[in-house]
Structure 1
Amino acid sequence: MNDIRCGSCGRKLGEGVYTLLNIKCPRCGALNCLRASSPTPERHRVPLTEANNGNPNRALDRR
């Protein structure tokens, strides 16, 4: 989880994961508008049957 801090005074306002957050700091009164950065793209995986040319037991065969 990420710390969420005020951009003006640095007070910790909370912690967590967010996509869009508007929060007013109780210490200095600044309005903090936070938006999540782009997530890391997920890696696409090849299905096990395609990776083993249709033989699901090929990965286990270690001759």
Structure 2
Amino acid sequence: MKEIRCGNCRRKLAEGEYLRLSIKCPRCGTLNYLSAESTEPERRGAPIFLNRSNHASHQTKPAPGQS
């Protein structure tokens, strides 16, 4: 979990995870607007390999009638 602190006085306001949040600091009265910088990507299917040198090479066969 991530600490959520006031942008003005740095008082710890909360601890957790958020997408969007607005929270008022009880010490200085600043209204803090926070949003997630990025979300973790959902895993969909098999991973994409950028470097195929460690994997079996793929050879394509010519279409019938082509050489």
User: If the TM-score is normalised by the length of the shorter chain, which range does it land in?
Assistant: 0.5 to 0.7
Q: 1:16 maps to which residue?
A: 16
The alpha carbon displacement at 1:31 in A equals: 0.4
| Residue 33 (1) aligns with residue 33 (2) | yes
The alpha carbon displacement at 1:41 in A equals: 2.7
Residue identity (%): 61
In structure 1, runs of 5+ residues without a counterpart are 47-63
Residue identity opposite 1:19 in structure 2: L
Larger helix share, 1 or 2: 1
CA distance in 2, matches of 1:40, 1:16: 15
Q: Which runs of 4+ in 1 moved over 6 A?
A: none
In structure 2, runs of 5+ residues without a counterpart are 47-67
CA distance in 2, matches of 1:30, 1:23: 8
CA distance in 1, matches of 2:38, 2:14: 21
The alpha carbon displacement at 1:38 in A equals: 1.4
Q: CA RMSD in A?
A: 1.3
